[in-house]
Chains A and B, each alone.
Chain A
Amino acid sequence: MGSAGRGGRGSGDVAAVRQSGDVAASRGPGEVHQARKPGAVREPGRMVVVSSLSSDAHTWNLVFLQLLIEEAGFEVVNLGPCVPADLLVSACRGLRPPLIVLSSVNGHGHQDGLRAIAALRAHEELATTPVVIGGKLGVGAGDRTAVVKELLAAGFDAVYDDVPDAEEFRGLVGALAAIRS
């Protein structure tokens, strides 16, 4: 099941930032369940990036998002868990994705998300790329509107903090897919 969704080991699709023994290459579960045209080329501008944030080790949320975005007709590069901001930036600069989806459920998404968006927006080629964040972004159960506002002001295009289902996000991805095709 070779596939274009595969960007791992030495494929060179994603700029490899190797630091302190971490692996920078990316790959997602796409090939696990979706046969794609063999030999299809991953073109810049066509791959949606799905990523966790620096301190978050959860992955089922990332697998879910990849499947959902693939169902809307995009291909996905899944950067996986514990992605530091510099790795996120280098991957996105190389891919010029139509959408960057950040997901965090460990309660540090608010702080880690602010760092990530600042790093992304600092690069001209990513200044207008749609970037959204969702999951469980804070630890408290109180009023979250201030957090959402702060993330939007920092440069996110949409914030899905602890929303009960993925319908709103599905709508956004569908709209993006419609514009693209």
Chain B
Amino acid sequence: MSGSDFAGAVRRAHAAGRLVVQPRMGLGDPALMRAGLVATKAAAARTVGTITLDSYTRIGDLESAERAVRGGMDLNGYPIVTHGARATRRMLDGVADADFPVQVRHGSARPARIVEAMCRAGLSATEGGPVSYCLPYGRTRLDVALHDWTRACRILASNRPDGATPHLETFGGCLMGQLCPPSLLVAVSVLEALYFRSMGITSVSVSYAQQTNEEQDREAIAALRGLCAELLPDVDWHVVVYAYMGVYPRTAGGARELLAQAARLAVDSGAERLIVKTVAEAHRLPTIAENIEALEFADGVAAGRPKPAGRAAGHRDSEVYQEAHALVEAVLNLAPEPGRALVTAVQRGLLDVPFCLHPENAGRARSFIDADGRLRWAEVGAMPLRGAVVRGGIKALTASGLVQALSHMQRTYDAAALERSRRGAALGMSS
């Protein structure tokens, strides 16, 4: 696996005018995991590999992971700690290389043991963040998560297998998957990148998950790039876009169109990498073949898209930029270390994630989808975003109103897909 430098491979692809596409694949059995990576590498697309870990390993329940491996039971991901370095190196041998680096995706609020295990296996790229992997998914205390993340970052920063540069991606741009206004996503993504830098990580990527309005998503990625250019001048960074992470269209046509939209968003906004979703998303975990289909489809859409002429000027005028800038500034003023500032900001409600049930999240902020499909603020709590509140934008939220908002993209894209096939059928009949 010499020189499997994650950011380097992404940079070379970008220079060659290619969008890097990546699956979320994770399989419990090493032979299957290897087959998934081999298929990803062989796909007719510019890919990097993914090892997604199982949920026992994610929450640190290594006993259950061990029991599952010994009992030959199915796991929903690759138990990297349990399989150990030797088995993982063997699994990756001849697959991971300079042009096909592999990233470990773990979802853990306390990732130090995971990062230790991946480093021992010769891997040097992973993702997450002390806020983004703590707030949405559990009840780990933020200061405990920060402490463990700090250990993980130190382990990763000093790990240079065969000279590869350790790489860390923020998950802050994907908070809650859906219904989080873009300015908060952008701010947390940037803040987690600043935290990674403060821990000695010199190669980062900043995430942003496609939301509900195309124009707002473009503004968000422009804002993300702008803030990174301002605040991370001494760090090698790129942008990774996630295809919509919320309730996914049920129709194959709707699912493909939503992925196509994500690929166009990535290319138009100058993003370097895209995490795909598959047509199986609304129904079950995708197969390897469905993942490959999604990678090749997204690659095809991206390849057919003209590259943007230059950096979007005027990104500072957008609502997303101004809100994100205000959040980042307010948080950084709290403490000299970005990690401590992040935790304090959440505890004081300066960062307040709508609908997040974590006991330390203030829970006063509230979002809604407006008539244009843009995510807006109905309440901002203690966040420095007073001017962003849309008064009377939403009546009291009900259970069915929440379901409507959560399924907004599913309904929109399924309806359009059904309409397209109806029109297609009508044309077929008239010809």
Contacts and interface: CB of A to CB of B under 8 A. Distances in A.
Interface string B120-146: 000000000000000011111100100
Interface in A113-168: 139, 166
Given A23-B358, A28-B357, A60-B355, A80 B363 contact: no
Contacts of A60: 355, 402, 406
B399 interface: yes
B426 interface: no
Given A59-B136, A67-B399, A27 B357 contact: yes
A166 B400 CA distance: 10
Contacts of B360: 8-9, 23
B136 A27 contact: no
Given A23-B139, A23-B141, A80 B358 contact: yes
A33 B396 contact: yes
A82 B360 CA distance: 15
Contacts of A139: 74
Nearest to A68: B399
B397 A27 contact: no
Contacts of A29: 355, 357, 363
Given A33-B366, A166-B399, A82 B59 contact: yes
A58 to B, nearest CB: 9
A63 B137 CA distance: 13
Interface string A68-99: 10010000001011110000000000000000
Nearest to A60: B406
A81 B359 contact: no
Given A27-B357, A28-B357, A32-B366, A55 B59 contact: yes
A27 B59 CA distance: 21
A62 interface: yes
Interface residues of B, number: 33
Contacts of A32: 354-355, 363-366, 379, 397
Interface in B380-414: 396-399, 401-403, 406
B55 interface: yes
A177 interface: no
A80 B140 CA distance: 12
Given A62-B357, A63-B357, A82 B363 contact: no
A81 B107 CA distance: 14
Contact of A27 (B61, B141, B359, B396): B359
A36 to B, nearest CB: 12
B364 A1 contact: yes
Contact of A63 (B56, B74, B402): B402
A26 interface: yes
Nearest to B178: A60
Contacts of B141: 21-23
Given A23-B359, A32-B354, A82 B138 contact: yes
Central interface residue in B61, B137, B139, by most chain A CB within 10 Å: B139
A34 B325 CA distance: 30
Interface of A: 1, 6, 8-9, 21-29, 31-34, 55, 57, 59-60, 62-65, 67-68, 71, 78, 80-83, 106, 139, 166
5 contacts: A9-B359, A55-B59, A57-B55, A59-B357, A65-B399
Given A24-B359, A59-B136, A63-B355, 17 more contacts: A9-B359, A21-B110, A22-B139, A23-B139, A23-B359, A31-B363, A32-B355, A32-B365, A33-B397, A55-B56, A59-B137, A59-B357, A67-B398, A67-B399, A81-B357, A106-B55, A139-B74
